[in-house]
Structure formats: structure tokens, C-alpha cells
Structure 1
Amino acid sequence: MPAGIFRVCLVVITAIVNHPLLFPKENVTVIENTEEVIQKMKEREENLRTEQLKLEQEIAAQEALAKSSEKARGPEEQYSRNSLSWNFWSALSMVVFLLIELWRQDYQEGNWQDYTNEEDDMSILGRAFKGIILPDKATLANFYERCLQAVTSDIARNRELVEGFADDLLEALRSVCNRDADMEVEESIGIGSMYENWRAHKPLACDFIVPFTPPEPYSFQFETWCSGESVPPDKQGCGVIKICRADETSTGCICDKTKLGEDLLCLLHSRMNQPGQNNHMEDLLCYKDTRYLDSDQVMAWFQVALTKAWNKISHKYEFNLTFSNLAVPGALKIKFRSGKTIAFNLTPVVQYADSDVYFISSFPRSGPTESYTCNIHWFLTFAVCEKRYIQFVSKMLPSNSCHLSCLQILSFLHEKQCSLTGPGSLTNYHLKTVMLHLLQTHPSSEWASKFLGARLQDMLKFLEKSLQEKRLYHFFIGNRNLPEELGIPVEFQRAEPLNLFRPFVLQRSDYRKTMDLFHEMLKNTAALINEYTMHVPNGRAIPLNKEPLQPYLNTTT
């Protein structure tokens, strides 16, 4: 009996999932002649009826056989147990069959999701992108040469001016700080689009990170939360920094292991035990009643130190220096007497375990995440690693490669679309992450300048696919295919991949807004490029908004 029911259900399910009108297969055309369709349906119906009669006869025969065998076997409990066991396996087989059929239908419709096989997915995804026509190769080249390359030429000049002033300001900061009580500030490091040569629009602003370390006998201990289901979404890619003293660690000082004698003195501990300095770091820079470094306290300390440093050297310069954003610790703005301004960011960071990974209190601009965390939770930034990776890959790419050009064009289009429809949750950091992933998956020869249009299409398709799946992995966390020359800590490479689009799963309104912005950007791509480029008979292109270069900085010695 159970076997017969199972076979009947199997035939019915097979007829349903393979019905040409309910689940049409690929490469199958519907017959235009209605009479032929009706005739074929009647023939199939007759075949199904014949099969059903045969199955009913078999069921009746099996029922009779089951009754006779039941009397022959004896105990009724054994038959019931065997019947229930058979029904369980029959039901399980039907469920597996249904799942296989549903998976087959999804696969045929192009819903296969494999993040590592991007080249194969490009042909089946990007449905909204299929109707978009990008400008031709010559138009893109002219647009980049006239509208974006001019901005790139300004970067080196602007960067040199700001670097000189930032070094002078930090040197003055070191001189006004108390070396026995304040943090020790190291040399600044340039990061971001200005130092990766893909800045696409003005105003030009340099981003610097400033590592700082605690004075002796203090040290930092780190705890990171990279990714994983056990880590809350707002804490992924974050960590905490604990301030410790040398007498609290077994490796800090040897005086607790060796008897120094009456005539010897531990200079380290004698310095720690000076009045008024025992709890200075904990009181000023830690979160209340803890020893975890507080980002707000560090921000306040850094702003006060910068103010003192500027007061010491302000007489050397013919401009004013102000904070452009009090919520960001080192967002500074230079204002000349003529009214011109130039902005740059000095952001305090803590180096992680002698590597190029840093803890940062807040991102100067578009960072990998904008979720709010507690004051003791510091973001992990791989900005220095990103700059080094781009430099590393550029050495293996053809001369005049188009990877940075693609990123510049995409960043330009995104900024212009945001000015039209308002900003979304998509940032320049996401765009750069897309480029980094494609640099790792595409051969070096495919990044020649002649493939500018093709690589730009790949970036747009990759970005659309990531938005549709709500999945864009961090390039360094969980990536085990990075070159050893970068020196990425092993714990980050072995961690689970960090999904930068995970907030979209719960924030549906932000997701819809971001998708709408992206699709509008796709539709307006050709119009935006043509708007900022005017074609002339000789095939050259002239920007509509080009301005003459003017000096930014005047100093007196």
C-alpha cells in the first residue's frame, strides 16, 4: 500500500514540475497552433489515465497481499512498525525529490549564487544592467582625459602643500605634550584616494592617520571581533583597546622575578610610583570605571593638543586654521584671507600588533561601515594595506592600466547621482572594494587601457550582483589568497568573511533607497558623461566645468 501511494504521488509531482506551461524549460518553444496543443494535452491525459488505472490495480493487489501476509506474519505491532518506517522513508524521498526539482528550476532561471566564480556569473546576472548602453570606448577615454585627469594632476600639488604643514603641526604637537604623561605621537601616514591616485572630484582633501602609543610604563592590549554569527552586526570589524601597566604583565618587568637587593632600584617601578601619575592614563583616556580606551576621550585630548600646537606656530603662516567638524577629531580647514579654503583630516589611530592594520575612532569620510558603536569599540582600518596592495598590483599590470580610471569614473558617476537624488548607503569604500575583488580575479592583461569600457561594465555588474545578493565581502578579512608581501596578520586572513552589505538585510528602507540610486545611476550614466563632455570635430573632448589652477597655500618663513 505505501509503495503504491508513493508511486502515484511521484507520477503526479513529476507531471506537475515538468508541465510545459507551469515550468517552461530553456530552449523550448511553445507551439503556435492551438489545435496541436489541445491534441497533445488530450494524448497526455489519456496516458495519465491509463497509468492511473494500472497503479490502482497494483494498489488493490498489494492490499490483498498485505492482508494475507499480515495474518501469516503474526503480531500486528511488527507490521505497524514496518509500515510507519516505510512511510517515513517514502515521505523523506518525496521531500528530497521536491527540493531537487525546485533547485533545478532555480538553477535554470539563473539564480545560482557563487561568489568565487565571478567570471561565470557576469553572463547570467546584472539583469537591470542589460538594458543600459554605456558610451563607446573613445567617448569614455576623452571623458576621462579631460574631466578627471585634470583633477588627478592637481592632487600631487595639493598633497605636497598639505603634507608640509601637517608635519610642522605634528612636530609642534609633540613639543607641547608632556612626555611623561601624554600619548606619544608618531609620524603621519597618508591614506585614501588622494594617495591611491583615484580622487575623482573636488574639493581635494588629504586624509592622514596619526599613530599614537602610551608612555612608559603603559602598553596596549587588543581584542578584536572580526566576523561570525556570534558577533553582533554593529561590532563586526571592531575591537577594544585595554591600557595595561608593566607591573600587571609577567613580561613587563623582571624585578618581580629577581631579587634586586637593597642597593638596587627598579627605575621603571620607581617612575610608576611617582605621585599623581599612577592613574593618569586611566582617568583621562579610559571609559568610566574601566581600562578600555575611550574614543571620545582620545578625540578630546587630540583636539586640545592640536589647538596648543597651532597656537605655537600660527605666527609662521598667513591663514587661519579651524576645526571643520567637531565630531571628527582632526577634521581641519585652512582658510586664506582671500576666502579660499583647503581641508584635510588628521585622525588618531592605534597600531595593531606591529602591522599595517590600525584601530581608528572614526573614518574621515566614507568608511566600510557607518553603524554606531560604544565609545570603547574601535573600528579596524586596512587603509594602509589597501594602498600597499594597489601599489603591489600596479607593478604587475600593463603600463597605463585602467583599474584606477574605472574607479574614478564610477566614483564620479556615483557622486553626481547622489547630488541629484540624495545620498544612499553606498559609499566610495564599497566601490573600491569592488575594484580590489576584480583585480584579484581578472588577469593582469585584461586591465590594459584599451579595456576601459569592458572593465567598467564588469565593475557595474559586480556591484549590481552584490546589491541584489546583499553581500559584499571585505577584501582583507577572511581573504586567504593575499600575497605574503602585504604582511596581513594571520588571524584576519583565517577569520570568516565580513559582509559589508549585511546591514541591508534588516534596514529595508536604506536598501530600497540604495538600489533606486544605483539603478538611476545606471540609467543616467550616458547622460552624465555627455553632460560633462562636449564633442568637437577633431574627436577631442572639452570639459564643461574646467577651472584654471590657482595657488592654495602661502607661507612665510
Structure 2
Amino acid sequence: MPAGIFKVCLVVIATIVNHPLLFPKENVTENTEGIIQKMKEREESLRLEQLKLEQEMAAQETLTKSSEKAKESEEQYTHDPLSWNFWTALSLVVFLLIELWRQDYQEGIWQDYGTEEDENAVLGKAFKWVLLPDKITLANFYERCIQNVTSEIARNRELVEGFADDLLEALRSVCNRDADMEVEESIGIGSMYENWRVQKPLACDFIVPFTPPEPYCFKLETWDSGESIPPDKQGYGMIKICQADETSTGCICDKTKLGEDLLCLLHSKMNQSRHNNHMENLLCYKDSQYLDSDQVMAWFQVALTKAWNKISHKYEFNLTFNLLDSPGALKIKFRSGKTIAFNLTPVVQYADSDVYFISHFPCSGLAEDSTSSIHWFLTFAVYEKRYLQFVSKMLPASSCHLSCLQILSFLHGKQCCLAGPSSLTNYHLKTVMLHLLQTHPSSDWASGFLEARLQDMLKFLEKSLHEKRLYHFFIGNRNLPEELGIPVAFQKAEPMNLFRPFVLQRSAYRKTMDMFHEMLRNTSALINEYTMHVPMGRASPLNKELL
């Protein structure tokens, strides 16, 4: 039996020594088919060795039956097969591990997300076979499909801004200042104010901060503040409505044991009932002090309707609600049939910063998780716009960062029209661009590097989808410039993975990956289809700039 174990060990050792992964110099001429053939031959030799050992053991068993130690021989016989099975299984496991290691090594192992030099140098499996058009074709495509669209943005934005201010002013006049929420000035955010919007309709997005009436105030709770927010609600918070003079300790009757005959006039059952009813009037969730986003949206829709009825006689167009489930999604319709869409979304300001609790995301700017109506998502849209303005001052003239985002957004939108909507949004695409802006030097974003930077964005996005990991640009990012004024608590928080839903939602992940790979395969065809033909010897100004 020791001889049999020795033979098995020799086979395993020979397999390891002759493996092409461990000694590539001696096996560089062997191709994949030769390796597979050798593996089959070794498997056959192992099987023959096993049969030979079983025959030897059977012969040994017949010789020992007539001896006086038959019982000991039987015990030895019962243990030997177990020993043989153990060594056989061990050799096969070792061989299998080496083979799996070889396959992983040949296919390429993805690098860590945090590396700067290697993360963009790693080509994805699907991107290897994608051939992007040349600089001239990209320039023609940009001029034909994108540059003409962006010229309409300024005109629409100026019209909508003036009308939104007038509508909100009318809203303030129709609201009860003693009972209703107080609406502040609107703030323009999103792609229309960051100058990269390419998909129609060219809808302007506004956030409208609001505050409770006196003597109430908002007490804000975030997921990282140690409050009663579940850990799976990263990026969310709750808004509690309290009286301005209310302290955390509450009334003195909570500290002192009153006699049975004594009653607190401030906290009697009747006053408590009135307090709860007033909280419901302040758009709170039932039997709680937390602001309810559903009630806020319903109130906002009613208030906008009253405001439009007050000022409709001043305008020669109609105003309608664009989406039923989004109270601030409005549409201006002229008599000529032309329409202009815009969104007014109620928000609550976080402390004295430009971070806001938002009730919902218009136009799927960021994918929303199904959650309760008292959990509000935090948006950094104002900081995103400010960061792009900050970076633009350090980039070369006519930099290509927004052009890359516009082209990628255009391709993504066309692919969604073909294959249907996916969980990949324009917000994810913008997050990819923000990460690359931080890791690449400013000189790399000159207009002549449009093709290279577009490739970087596609590779970065594929790598992030493969790893199911794309971090929020502001939450947990400690390398942001101090000039932005982002709250330190969010910079020191644990990084937030925007692709976390893909870990649990496998069907959505597979659909998104299929859509992305199909978009990569269709990239060249889509660009060529929408490219304007430029005659020989004649180039557009953008072409000359890229040459």
C-alpha cells in the first residue's frame, strides 16, 4: 500500500512540475489544445494506476483469508480504501485548483477599485473587441447630433427660469403663512445647468427648499449620525418636526413623579391629541413627527395648481402636469403646439450646507430604492454643479470632459430606446466622469484627447459594472478641495456604493450588463449612422481643433 501512495504522489508532483503556469519558459510552445490533451492523458494514467492498485489489494486480501489474523486483515482492508480515496481526492483537488488558477491568470484578474494607474489601463473583456471611430468621425458626430441640441438649452432655460420664479411667488401668496410650509427661491441643478444635456425633452430641473411655519423647525437625522436609521438606508435620512423651543429633555413632568391627583396642563391627553393632529397638518407621517414625502408632494401639487390659477391670465400658454406620480413635473404648451418641460422638486436643506433632502428624483436622474415615505435621499446636485465649475477653471480651453459625457449619454439613450430602460442611469455616467476628472491631470482633457478619454470612461464603467462597485463621488471622498465647502461628516463617512442594488438584484444586473455590452457593440454603428459627411478637403472648426 505505501508503494501505491508513493506512485500517486509521483503523479501529482509530475503534474505540478510540468504545468505551464509554473514553468512557462519550458512550455511556451505548447498551445491550449496540447495542454488539454496532456490533461486527458494524465487523467487516464491516474485511472489506470487506481485500477492496478485495486487489483493488488484484491490479491492481498485472498492471501490473508487463511491466516489466523483474518480480523486484523479485514480491518486493514477497511482502512486502506479510505486512505486510497483520501489521497486520490487530494490529488484531484490540487490539480483542479491549479487548473482554475491557470484560467484566472490567463483571463486576467480585475484590479482594485482604488488604484489610479492600473484601473484605467485594464481592458474589459467586452471592450477589447470594440473599435471606436477616429477623431474626425467623432467630431462630425458631435457637431451633428450634440452641438445643435445644446444651442437650444440657453433659450429654454431663460424662459423657464422667469416663469418658475413667477409661479413660486404666486404660490407663496396663496399659502397660509401660519399653517403651510414656507417656500424659498428655486435652485437650478442637473444637466441643463451643467451644460451636457443631449436628450430631449430639454427639461430644466429646479429644487425648491421649504421650511415649516413658526414656531416649528426641522431636526435632521442621517444614516451616519447614529440615529434610528437602518444601516441598509445608506444615503438616506429622516426629517423630524419639532418646536423651536423644544429641548431633547422635554417637559419637566418627564423628570418629576407627579402625584395621582396632579395633571400636567401642557401634556394632558387632550393637548397631546391636538399636538398629533397639528403634526398631521404639518405633513407628518401618521402618529409621528417625521415628515412624510407623500404628503409633501400632494401639498406641493395642490399649491402649484392654486398658484397657476392665480397667474394664468398673464400668459398665452397652458400649464399641465407632465407626470402623475411626480407633482412638480410640469409642461408648458404653446398654441403652436411646442412644449417645454421643467421640474420643480421640494427639498429640505441639510444644516447650513448645500446638501438637500429630496423627496423624489425627477426623470430618473438617480435610481431610487423602494423605501418608506419618511426616508429622504440626500442629493449633492449643487456641489456637483459647483465642482464642475471649479474644475473647468483648471482645464484647458475647449476641454473634452463634457463632450465625452454627452457622447456617452447619447449612446446610452439610443440603446435604451432599442432595448428598453435599464438600471444604468445618466447619474452613473456623470459619476464616472467625476472620478476620472479627479484622477487624470488637467492636460489630459484637452480637446485633442476626446477619443482617448471616451475610451477611459467606457473602460472605467465596464470595470465598475463587473465589480458591481461605483462609489458616490462626494460621500467618503476625502480628496475633495476645501473650496467646495462640503460637510466634513460626509467626507469622513463610509463610501457609498451606487451599484449596491446589483449585488442583490441579479436579474436587473444581468439586464444592465446585456444592455451595456450591446451598446458597446453598437457604438461604431450608431456613431457612423448619425455622422454628417464632410467633403474631402473641408473640415469643420471642431475637426480642425481636434487635428
TM-score, normalization by structure 1: 0.76
Candidates 299, 303, 306, aligned match of 1:305: 303
Name 2:462's counterpart in structure 1: 464
The answer to whether 1:152 aligns with 2:150 is yes
CA 1:397–1:325: 2 relative to 1, 3 Å = same
Matches of 2:489 and 2:420, distance apart in 1:
39
Name 2:85's counterpart in structure 1: none
TM-fit CA distance, 1:105: 7.5
Name 1:28's counterpart in structure 2: 28
**Deviation larger for 239-248 or 355-364:** 239-248
TM-fit CA distance, 1:534: 2.8
TM-fit CA distance, 1:179: 1.4
% identical equivalent positions: 79
Amino acid at match of 1:121: E
User: 1:390 aligns to what SS in structure 2?
Assistant: helix
Report matched runs for 1:195-210 at 5 Å.
195-210=193-208
Q: CA RMSD in A?
A: 3.9
The answer to whether 1:353 aligns with 2:351 is yes
TM-fit CA distance, 1:468: 0.9
Matches of 1:520 and 1:145, distance apart in 2:
24
User: 1:350 aligns to what SS in structure 2?
Assistant: strand
Matches of 2:33 and 2:176, distance apart in 1:
92
Candidates 451, 457, 467, aligned match of 2:449: 451
TM-fit CA distance, 1:297: 0.6
The answer to whether 1:168 aligns with 2:181 is no
Candidates 525, 532, 535, aligned match of 1:534: 532
Matches of 1:345 and 1:23, distance apart in 2:
61
CA 1:233–1:395: 2 relative to 1, 3 Å = same
Report matched runs for 1:185-196 at 5 Å.
185-196=183-194
Question: How big is each residue's C-alpha offset from its partner over 1:192-234, in whole Å with a ceiling of 9 and x where there is no partner?
Answer: 0000000012211000000011122111111112699x98686
TM-fit CA distance, 1:370: 2.2
TM-fit CA distance, 1:282: 3.7
Which structure 2 residue ranges, 5 or more long, are not aligned? 50-92, 252-270, 542-547
User: 1:333 aligns to what SS in structure 2?
Assistant: strand
CA 1:389–1:251: 2 relative to 1, 3 Å = farther
Matches of 1:161 and 1:218, distance apart in 2:
36
**Deviation larger for 366-375 or 299-308:** 366-375
CA 1:22–1:398: 2 relative to 1, 3 Å = closer
Question: How big is each residue's C-alpha offset from its partner over 1:488-531, in whole Å with a ceiling of 9 and x where there is no partner?
Answer: 11121111111111111121111111111111111111111111
Question: How big is each residue's C-alpha offset from its partner over 1:338-370, in whole Å with a ceiling of 9 and x where there is no partner?
Answer: 222111000000001111110001001223332
**Deviation larger for 121-130 or 181-190:** 121-130
Matches of 1:149 and 1:290, distance apart in 2:
51
Report matched runs for 1:271-282 at 5 Å.
280-282=278-280
The answer to whether 1:237 aligns with 2:235 is yes
**Deviation larger for 12-21 or 325-334:** 12-21
Matches of 2:225 and 2:503, distance apart in 1:
16
Matches of 2:367 and 2:32, distance apart in 1:
54
CA 1:540–1:218: 2 relative to 1, 3 Å = same
Name 1:433's counterpart in structure 2: 431
Is the 2:179–2:282 contact (alpha carbons within 8 Å) kept by the matching residues of 1?
A: no
**Deviation larger for 162-171 or 138-147:** 138-147
Matches of 1:445 and 1:313, distance apart in 2:
51
**Deviation larger for 215-224 or 405-414:** 215-224
TM-fit CA distance, 1:125: 3.1
Matches of 2:32 and 2:381, distance apart in 1:
60
CA 1:105–1:145: 2 relative to 1, 3 Å = same
TM-fit CA distance, 1:122: 3.0
Question: How big is each residue's C-alpha offset from its partner over 1:165-216, in whole Å with a ceiling of 9 and x where there is no partner?
Answer: 0000001111111112111111100000000000012211000000011122
CA 1:530–1:108: 2 relative to 1, 3 Å = closer
Candidates 402, 405, 409, aligned match of 1:404: 402
TM-fit CA distance, 1:466: 0.8
Matches of 2:468 and 2:452, distance apart in 1:
24
Report matched runs for 1:44-83 at 5 Å.
none
Name 1:418's counterpart in structure 2: 416
User: 2:327 aligns to what SS in structure 1?
Assistant: coil
Name 2:122's counterpart in structure 1: 124
User: 2:346 aligns to what SS in structure 1?
Assistant: strand
TM-fit CA distance, 1:19: 4.0
Name 2:175's counterpart in structure 1: 177
Q: How many residues align?
A: 471
Name 2:212's counterpart in structure 1: 214
Matches of 2:516 and 2:124, distance apart in 1:
12
Is the 2:144–2:532 contact (alpha carbons within 8 Å) kept by the matching residues of 1?
A: no
Matches of 1:14 and 1:482, distance apart in 2:
54
Which structure 1 residue ranges, 5 or more long, are not aligned? 1-5, 50-94, 254-272, 543-557
Matches of 2:428 and 2:245, distance apart in 1:
44
User: 1:247 aligns to what SS in structure 2?
Assistant: coil
Matches of 1:218 and 1:180, distance apart in 2:
11
TM-fit CA distance, 1:120: 1.2
Report matched runs for 1:309-328 at 5 Å.
309-328=307-326
Amino acid at match of 2:19: P
Is the 2:122–2:459 contact (alpha carbons within 8 Å) kept by the matching residues of 1?
A: no
Matches of 1:165 and 1:128, distance apart in 2:
47
Is the 2:111–2:118 contact (alpha carbons within 8 Å) kept by the matching residues of 1?
A: no
Name 2:477's counterpart in structure 1: 479
Question: How big is each residue's C-alpha offset from its partner over 1:3-53, in whole Å with a ceiling of 9 and x where there is no partner?
Answer: xxx99999876654554358785993318999xx99xx99xx9xxx9xxxx
Amino acid at match of 1:20: H
Is the 1:243–1:282 contact (alpha carbons within 8 Å) kept by the matching residues of 2?
A: no
Name 2:294's counterpart in structure 1: 296
Name 2:87's counterpart in structure 1: none
CA 1:186–1:22: 2 relative to 1, 3 Å = same
Is the 1:148–1:200 contact (alpha carbons within 8 Å) kept by the matching residues of 2?
A: yes
Matches of 2:402 and 2:234, distance apart in 1:
28
TM-fit CA distance, 1:100: 11
**Deviation larger for 453-462 or 210-219:** 210-219
Is the 1:284–1:297 contact (alpha carbons within 8 Å) kept by the matching residues of 2?
A: no
Question: How big is each residue's C-alpha offset from its partner over 1:454-506, in whole Å with a ceiling of 9 and x where there is no partner?
Answer: 00000000011111111111111111111111111112111111111111112
TM-fit CA distance, 1:536: 3.1
